[in-house]
Homo-oligomer: A and B are copies of this chain.
Amino acid sequence: MKHNFGAGPCILPAKVLDQAADAVRNFNGLGLSILEISHRTPEFEAVMKETQDLVRELLRVPEGYSILFLQGGASTQFSMLAMNFLHQEKKAAYLDCGYFSQKAIKEALLFGQVNIVASSKDKGYNYIPLGYEIPEDSAYFHYTSNNTIEGTEMFSFPPTTVPVICDMSSDIFSRMVNVADFDLIYAGAQKNMGPAGMTLVVVKDTLLEHIQRQVPSMSDYRIYRDNGSLFNTPPVFSIYVAMLNLRWLKEKGGVKTIETENIAKAALLYEEIDRNPLFYGLADPDHRSRMNVTFKMYEPAMEQEFLDFASTRGIVGVKGYRSVGGFRASLYNALPISSVEILVSCMSDFEKEKLNKEVELAQNESL
């Protein structure tokens, strides 16, 4: 039994994996694999429709928004959104709150001017900036709601009159948000939605009236909307597994229910990090992510030993991102609280082992 704390591609519910495996052999009893059916069949059109409907229902998407499925990941959106919405006469406002914000800014600069309204770079992005102003003449305001690498998350969103574009790759479907506060939400699928290979876009139709630049068809949000994300061959399997996963979420009670679980899971782990004298958390306590918990050991030399100790208990994917180091435990929707309990016991048992060793050493020395 593995406890998969990977940051993405990441854990999916066992039931979803079983259903996906079955469909790879025989989809819907058709005698064909989900991998070998045309995207123009009524069977796949039904999959597309159900996936869109589930997104709409689970996120409570209001009227006037379109649900799109694109290929590529959030990195493709970094340039695509700027290509569509950043024009010469206006600046785009960006919140610089982490590694992926930076990447988004870099790509936007190819298409126009960027105004960084606030940054937490000064402290290695360990907090979310507050108290900044968004100029009212901005083309749009862009931010990342959860910073997968640094382990910070935004729990309040600044009010603004300009269009709001948000990268929700790593916390979408993990908590309730008011979609009406956003003009475009995008999210790479490989966290709480499904396997890598697809990006969800929820976009306000009125935003699409502001595209002035001529953009390639595959970079034009309107093409996806007008063709029901079937302008060309979509990532059939990724969409199908996302549908299974969203069905699972709905059966569990939806986003509100999973949010309660996610709060409990994160609280349990942060409590142990704060209690255990060997570990410390990296993010400012007010901005600690519920999805990606980053922490280190006071003795860096001990970290590999802890990783080895944890792996004997089936814990995988807790090594921190290369630029940050330490540990990162991702607590996505599909991770059960029992896995968090095992990680917490593992940390406390490791502490006991270390303390016992110290006592032994002290005793040996005093002999």
Give A residues with C-beta under 8 Å from B. 1-2, 4, 6-12, 17-18, 20-22, 24-25, 30-33, 35-39, 71-76, 78-80, 83, 103, 106-107, 110, 188, 190, 194-198, 214-219, 231-238, 241, 314, 316-317
Please, which residue of chain B has its CB at the minimum distance from the CB of A70? B72
CB distance from A339 to the nearest CB of B (A): 13
A-B pairs with the 7 shortest C-beta distances? A79-B216, A197-B235, A21-B24, A75-B232, A35-B195, A2-B31, A71-B72
Q: In the complex, A32 Cα to B316 Cα: how many Å?
A: 10
Is the CB–CB distance between A17 and B38 below 8 Å? no
Contact of A110 among B73, B216, B234 (CB under 8 A): B216
Other A-B pairs beyond A32-B316, A35-B195, A71-B71, 19, CB < 8 Å = A2-B30, A4-B36, A6-B38, A11-B36, A17-B33, A18-B25, A20-B24, A21-B24, A24-B24, A31-B314, A35-B241, A36-B195, A78-B218, A79-B219, A106-B217, A107-B217, A110-B214, A195-B236, A235-B235
**Chain B residues with CB under 8 A of A218:** 72, 75-76, 78-79, 107
**Chain B residues with CB under 8 A of A236:** 9, 195-197
CB distance from A273 to the nearest CB of B (A): 22
If A22-B21, A24-B20, A235-B196 touch, whether A37 touches B72 (CB-CB below 8 Å) is no
Q: In the complex, A74 Cα to B241 Cα: how many Å?
A: 23
Q: In the complex, A38 Cα to B75 Cα: how many Å?
A: 17
Q: In the complex, A80 Cα to B215 Cα: how many Å?
A: 11
CB distance from A328 to the nearest CB of B (A): 11
If A71-B73, A110-B214, A196-B235 touch, whether A35 touches B12 (CB-CB below 8 Å) is yes
Contact of A4 among B22, B32, B219, B234 (CB under 8 A): B32
